[in-house]
Chains A and B, each alone.
Chain A
Amino acid sequence: MATRLISEDAHPYMAISPPGVVAAMLEEIGLDSVEPLFEQIPEAHRLTRPLALERPIRAEAALRRHLTELLERNVSCADSLSFLGAGCWQHYVPAVCDEIVGRSEFLTPVWGTPASDYGRNQAWFEYASQLGELVGLDFVGLPVYSWGCAAGNAARMAARLTGRDQLLVPRGIDPERLAVIHNYCAPVDVHGHIEVTPVEYVPETGRLDLSDLRRKLSSRTAAVYVETPSYLGVIEADAPQAAELARAAGAETIVGVDPISLGVLAPPGEWGADIVVGTTQPLGVHMSCGGGVGGFIATRDEEHYAREYPTLQVSICDTVEPGERGFGVILFEQTSYGSRENGKDWTGNSVYRWAIANAVYMALMGPQGFCEIGEAILQRSHYAARKIDELPGVDVRWSDGFFKEFVVDFGATRRTVAEINRALRERRIFGGKDLSRSHPQLGQSALYCVTEVHSQHDLDRLVDALREVTA
């Protein structure tokens, strides 16, 4: 080890590495090598050979070239026309969002103090405040890892609030999200287990089957979880009735939403939701192969809900200087940082950088932007659905009452979704997500997603390509 330290090998990332510096520091502590500094580690524990990692690429130009060469093997949604959604969606990310989250001040903070990282805390407060306006609620925590994680946390909140141990979820739910929820609800035989029971949808409409919900609601039900739009795209027009049924049974109503729909769809906080969860990715965050996902939890600002949050949250407050505002973390004692295993679930690093992107996005869009983007998505997705539905052998399963995603049934074409998507890929189109394994009841169906990024030309191109590959 000592020999490495006297090399002339200062690394650009390590300001402390130049050889003269090391010698001076060693001298200061009365050593001539670093070896004695590791005296605590027994010899028998030591790795006795050098690390066998790939050779270093220290020149930034060469490193950039290496990474670029690797990454250019990807075909991105910018190279192609994509209709994938299903939990991660292609929306336009305004340049100002990228500019702000790229600022070194927002890239590098770790914890700080309320005074010295004030601007970041204000941006977080503005994230929560604006999201609260969209969902129609006034208590919003800092974000969690994903929509699925938010739903899992919400289920646990509901179980603690009600002392019950069953969660009702929609049958058509995203299988990824459901797998996450299952983990948060723990298996049978484990302390804190919450049974996850599916509620059927009405085959004709795709909406939640309220009579099945009535059958399954019981004194065990901690919460009814509904999503609107649902994973399969459907606007749950009956969700307020579901919330009423839940309330009558003494259960909480957890509503999962895609907030980009909330310029045109009724805010769930105003029609019966107790806990609202959802994704933050559509609000100014790139998909990044799934690295853009994030989740949120919101409720009414009532103490019994607030005291169940696992997250950190910032509150606006006063400072000791009259007329000056500050922002501080509240309810710290109930987090895992404050109370270890006695805290509410756990918290830690999350997706706080994206909360700032979300804040910028909501401020840019404003009320008019959210209304327009919601309308544009509705019209574009319905245009695509109608044109696709006209193709021979191709059937849009629920051709009305959806938002940006819809189920396309290719069963009558006698081709599998996998075959169709392969043929579309040859035409530089990413077809919808194949549902044939996750939702076998839908046969050879795919979930198509259309957003504001798709022009009429794009949609016509898709329809033409589908006509060719299903002919």
Chain B
Amino acid sequence: MTALRRYHAAVWDEPIVLELGRSGARGIEVPPVEPEIEAEVGAASDLIPPGARRETAPALPELSEPEVLRHYLHLSQETLGMMGISLFGTCTMKYNPRVNERLASEHFVAELHPLQDEETLQGVLEIVSRLEQALCELSGMDRFVFQPGGGADAAYLHACVTRAYHAARGELAQRTEIITSIQAHPCNPATAATAGFEVVTLPLEENGYPSLDALKAAVSERTASLMINNPDDMGIYNPQITDWVDVVHDAGGLCFYDHANFNGVMGKIRAAELGFDACMFMLHKTFGVPKAGGGPAVGAYGCTERLAPYLPGPLVSFEGGRYGLTEGAPDGVGRVREFLGNVPEIVKAYAWVRAMGGEAIGLASDLSVLANNYMEKKLLQIRGVSKSHPHVTANRLEMTRYSLGDLTRDTGVTAVDVQNRMVDFGVDAFWLSHEPWLVPEPFTPEAGEMWSKEDIDYWIAVLAHVCEEAYADPETVKTAPHRQVVHQLDPRGLDDPARWATTWRAYRRKRAAEAV
């Protein structure tokens, strides 16, 4: 039996930064303006048109440099992140090589301006180009762009490319629908709707994916595109996916492969060979780039030659031995975000691909699927745990969707309660499920390839302990966490306009009003 650690989070009782400091203190100085400049242009306040000047200084904290440092170091210590074990499913938690962080913070990345002449960007453009080639090899696609600032932004880019493609064919007014599945990540329907499409959502059938017949019934001359992931978040692979692509293509629609769950199929399948027109990789999931609490991230968008004319600029080109930047075609989508993309993250992903190589990338896929199936066997031995679609007996890929429905029925302890208790042992919260929940009290761990067998065994042991505790002493679980920075939130007020406060000034105003 794996021994559980006597973990306790750091507790600093750290005040809000705006409560700290004293008048006149300062954290950094600005280089003083030379007397000749002052003599030439006069006082700064005279350089501002009347009425445009700020009259009252902003109510920011006044703190010395070491005080600011220590305040934010304390906050960092009050953040678990991946200091413990994080098997956060659907996000593929990987090691983020620190050498890549070092490289990306050096001046030859950090101090580049995006509008520099391309002659001065040869190194970075070569890296973009080489990563593009690597992703083309992994997907079979012909081109990749890195402008989208995350996976959802890449889904949005696909919706924009879809508009441009159908507009160029004179069918934009007719092609009003995008088809997706209930198990697709919410960003697919949401970005399709933002781009002006109606969303057709296919439900799952018995075997864990929507039926081909349902798709056939849904497609029509209104179909603009299919946006789908495979395998889905339950680790179920749709074996009819090539038939799906054919059905959509026959109706004149495009097919977009959301490769959020690429880890289980790296080196096994290629989106273009399955017939897809476009796909998306998340460099911050599959390619070793940090999560950073939610970006900066990159949704690398790849497509076949057919869609290449609609890609946003600037595009990296290679001619006569030099790398260059060209604008997208006039029919293209223009921009979904300013500039080339999150270049440091592109550099990190390139470094990760080089450190791995093709063989190790294939191995990583093998290992992540092995680790998931190992976990599944152990987790299903825990009282209160079951899995979705238990009758689908084929081995799941890199994830399995579980349910704590039995545990909740037996003990009243919910999946959120279990999350809150597991963090008492230094284990990061697991992912539940995207909306809508298709099984009661879902949870979705993903082992990936970075964690050791001991780490995985520890995670399993913590869950087993918490589930047993739920039966023996449910109150302890329901009132968790007990060894964390703070206790459970008081849920009252979070969605109450009279009480919510996203800023300190709103908080002070509302609490003062309450006190009256």
Given A148-B338, A235-B48, A53 and B361 touching (CB < 8 A)?
A: yes
Q: Contact between B69 and A96 (Cβ–Cβ < 8 Å)?
A: yes
Q: A28 contacts B76, CB within 8 Å?
A: no
Contacts A54-B134, A110-B91, A330-B494: A265 and B111 contacting too (C-beta < 8 A)? no
Q: In the complex, which residues of chain A have a beta carbon less than 8 angstroms from the beta carbon of B420?
A: 113, 115
State which residues 401-416 of A face B: CB under 8 Å.
401
Of A60-68, A162-170, A219-227, A244-252, the one touching chain B: A60-68
Contact A117 B451 (CB under 8 A): no
Residues A288 and B28 in contact in the complex (CB < 8 Å), given A70-B126, A117-B79, A303-B497: no
The residues in A between 51 and 78 inclusive whose CB is less than 8 angstroms from any CB of B are 51-58, 60, 63-64, 66-68, 70-78
Q: Return chain B residues, CB-CB under 8 Å to A75.
A: 116, 119-120
A25 touches B374 (CB 8 A): yes
| B60 lies within 8 A of A367 (CB) | yes
CA–CA, A26 and B105, complex, Å:
41
Given known pairs A345-B194, A349-B294, the reply for A76 and B111 (CB within 8 Å) is: yes
Instruction: Annotate A153-192 by CB proximity to B: 1 below 8 A, 0 otherwise.
Output: 0001000000000000000001011011011101101111
CA distance A340 to B52 in the complex (A): 42
Within 8 A of A (CB), among B54-100: 54-55, 57-63, 65, 68-69, 71-83, 86, 88, 91, 93-97, 99
Interface string of B188-199 (1 = CB under 8 A from A): 011111111111
Q: Which of B149, B239, B344, B347 contacts A145 (CB 8 A)?
A: B149
Shortest distance from the beta carbon of B154 to any chain A beta carbon, whole Å: 9
A376–B30 CB distance below 8 A: yes
Complex CA distance for A451 and B269, rounded to whole angstroms = 50
What is the minimal beta-carbon distance from B496 to any residue of chain A, in angstroms? 9
Other-chain residue from B25, B354, B493, B503 in contact with A57 (beta carbon distance below 8 A): B354
Contact of A433 with B by CB under 8 A = yes
Say yes or no for A436: interface residue by CB 8 A criterion. Answer: no
Given contacts A100-B73, A116-B484, contact A76 B187 (CB under 8 A): no
Interface window among B383-391, B428-436, B467-475: B428-436
Indicate if A352 sits at the interface (CB-CB under 8 A): yes
Residue of A nearest to B24 (CB): A368
| Nearest CB of B to A176, in Å | 4
Contact with B along A105-130 (1 / 0, CB 8 A): 11111111111111110111110111
Q: Verify A193–B196 contact, CB threshold 8 A.
A: yes
The smallest C-beta distance from A185 to any residue of chain B, in angstroms, reads: 10
A324 and B486 in contact, given A237-B49, A287-B110 (Cβ under 8 angstroms): yes
List the A residue with the shortest CB-CB distance to B295.
Answer: A349
CB distance from A239 to the nearest CB of B (A): 8
- What is the total of A-B residue contacts with beta carbons within 8 Å? 764
- Give the distance to chain A from B359, nearest Cβ to Cβ, in Å: 7
Does B438 lie at the interface of the complex (its beta carbon under 8 Å from any beta carbon of A)? Answer: no
Q: A44-B242, A318-B493 known; A130 and B486 CB under 8 Å?
A: no
17 pairs, A vs B, C-beta closer than 8 Å: A1-B362, A13-B94, A16-B447, A53-B361, A54-B134, A71-B103, A71-B106, A104-B82, A122-B75, A139-B503, A288-B109, A290-B339, A343-B190, A349-B297, A366-B60, A425-B117, A452-B30
Q: How far is the CB of B503 from chain A (nearest CB, A)?
A: 4
Q: Are A183 and B68 in contact (CB under 8 A)?
A: no
Residue A278 lies at the interface, judged by CB distance under 8 Å to chain B: no
The count of chain B contact residues (Cβ–Cβ below 8 Å) is: 229
What would 19 more interface pairs be, CB under 8 Å, given A71-B103, A87-B114, A288-B110?
Answer: A16-B449, A17-B367, A34-B370, A40-B231, A76-B111, A104-B83, A109-B293, A115-B485, A116-B9, A118-B78, A133-B503, A149-B337, A191-B196, A263-B57, A301-B502, A318-B490, A350-B149, A366-B62, A378-B47
Asked if B88 and A111 make an inter-chain contact with CB atoms under 8 angstroms apart, the answer reads yes
A40 contacts which chain B residues (CB < 8 A)? 231, 236-237, 239, 394-397
- For A365, the chain B residues whose CB sits under 8 A away are 27-28, 60
**Is A267's CB within 8 Å of the partner chain B?**
yes
Q: What CA separation (Å) do A145 and B337 show in the bound complex?
A: 7
In the complex, the chain A residue whose C-beta lies closest to that of B69 is A96
In the bound complex, do residue A336 and residue B363 qualify as a contact, i.e. CB atoms below 8 Å apart? no
A209 at the interface (CB under 8 A from B): no
What 4 pairs between A and B have smallest CB-CB spacing? A56-B357, A290-B339, A348-B152, A119-B78
Q: Is the CB of B370 within 8 A of A37?
A: yes
CA distance A24 to B452 in the complex (A): 12
B36 at the interface (CB under 8 A from A): yes
- In the complex, the answer to whether B502 meets A315 with C-beta atoms within 8 Å is yes
